Amino acid sequence: MVAEPEEPLDEPVPVHRAVALGIARLLPDVDRPRAWLLTLDGTPQSYVDLDDPGHLEFEYARRLGHVVDAAAEPGRPLDVLHLGGGALTLPRYTAATRPGSRQRVVEIDGPLVELVAEQLPWQGPGVRIEVAVGDARTALAEAPDGSADLVLADVFGGSRVPARLTTVEFVREAARVLRPGGVYAANLADGPPLDFARGQAATVRAVLPEVCLLAEPQVLHGRRFGNVVLVGSRRPVPVRELARRLAADPFPARVVAGEALDRLIGAAEPVDDSAARPSPPPPDGAFTLS
């Protein structure tokens, strides 16, 4: 008897769609059956594994994940305000690692939210993620006092952080929304000579006294352009815990705090609304995909 040929399995197909801020593409990962990369005009924005929301592919996302992990004892639900949504990588991670967390996500690109909801739905048992379309700074100003354990800012206009999200006034609003032991974290991007990152560290420290910076050594030493995560709080940041987690990553990063952060900031001054500038543009090919 001749065996009947098996029906070919349906392969995931890339999705391309015009959204408010450009051309969004959802590209399947050939190595992970239900994992997708979201790009916007060729710049990677998010990576999501629908079967394993605890998997963080991007190194900067792993660092933000470590901040989520260290924000409270393991498994404790948190109230989180996410500024910037993309494909909801960090909200999904938080829902998986801290079930019952109440999370609000603010994303300015409405058609992108619709695309993600259609192709990469986030609903599930115990998942409490509310997604709103709107401007990050406006949404932050409207958030109630003391309503969040975590405020995570990961907002890029293309490949640059908008100027109005880089100021003392913006960080003051984040601090107002945080509970007394709450944590603010921002994903930024910079390259040599790290002037933007220095100014941002000074800006956060002008509002929140306990600050540290997370980055790969090559970025810290001015050898290449890359992501920098700033963490601020009114209480001491768990530097040792973050350092342990960062050291175990596939691409280890370092924590800069205390006197080392003083040296890094140097003479940099906090940035206010009158002097704000967006983060520097990345060099050609730094983040874009062909």
* Res 289 pLDDT > 80: no
Q: Which CATH architecture has domain 19-275?
A: 3-Layer(aba) Sandwich (3.40)
- What is residue 287's predicted lDDT score, i.e. its pLDDT? 63
Is 189 in contact with 226 (CB distance < 8 Å)? yes
Tell me the mean pLDDT in the region 10-33: 94
Convert the pLDDT of each residue in 129-184 to its tens digit: 999 999 999 999 999 999 999 999 999 988 899 999 999 999 999 999 999 999 99
The mean per-residue pLDDT over the stretch 261-287 comes to: 93
Distance of CA 12 to the CA centre of its chain: 26
pLDDT at 192 over 90: yes
Cα–Cα distance between 290 and 149 in angstroms, integer? 39
Contact in structure between 128 and 101 (CB atoms under 8 Å): yes
Q: Above 80 in pLDDT, residue 31? A: yes
Beta-carbon contacts of residue 43 (< 8 Å; ≥ 6 apart): 156, 158, 159, 287, 288, 289
Least confident of 27-31, 155-159, 238-242: 155-159
- Through-space distance between the first and last CA atoms of the chain, rounded to whole angstroms: 48
Task: Look at residues 188, 264, 198 and name the one whose alpha carbon lies nearest to residue 227.
Answer: 188
Distance of alpha carbon 77 from alpha carbon 82, whole angstroms: 15
The mean pLDDT value of the chain amounts to 94
What digits encode the pLDDT tens for the residues 67-102? 999 999 999 999 999 999 999 999 999 999 999 999
Can you spell out the DSSP letters for 101-143? Answer: -EEEEEES-HHHHHHHHHHS----TT-EEEEEES-HHHHHHHS
Whether 261 has a pLDDT exceeding 50, the answer reads yes
pLDDT at 125 over 90: no
Binned at pLDDT 50, 70 and 90, residue 126 comes out as: confident
Residue 3 has pLDDT above 60, yes or no: no
pLDDT tops 90 at residue 264? yes
Q: Per-residue pLDDT averaged across 113-122, rounded?
A: 97
In a 13 Å sphere around the CA of 44, the CA atoms on its Cβ side amount to: 20
**Per-residue model confidence (pLDDT) at position 285:** 72
Residue 283: name the closest of 203, 213, 230, 219 by CA.
219
pLDDT over threshold 50, residue 2: no
- d(C-alpha 240, C-alpha 245), whole Å: 9
Mean pLDDT, rounded, for 263-279: 98
Residue 288: its pLDDT value, please?
54
Tokens of 217: 């050594």
Q: Alpha-carbon torsion 262, 283, 189, 51, what sign?
A: negative
Sheet holding 128-133, edge to edge: 128-133, 102-107, 79-83, 148-153, 178-190, 226-233, 210-215, 254-257
Specify the pLDDT at position 96.
96
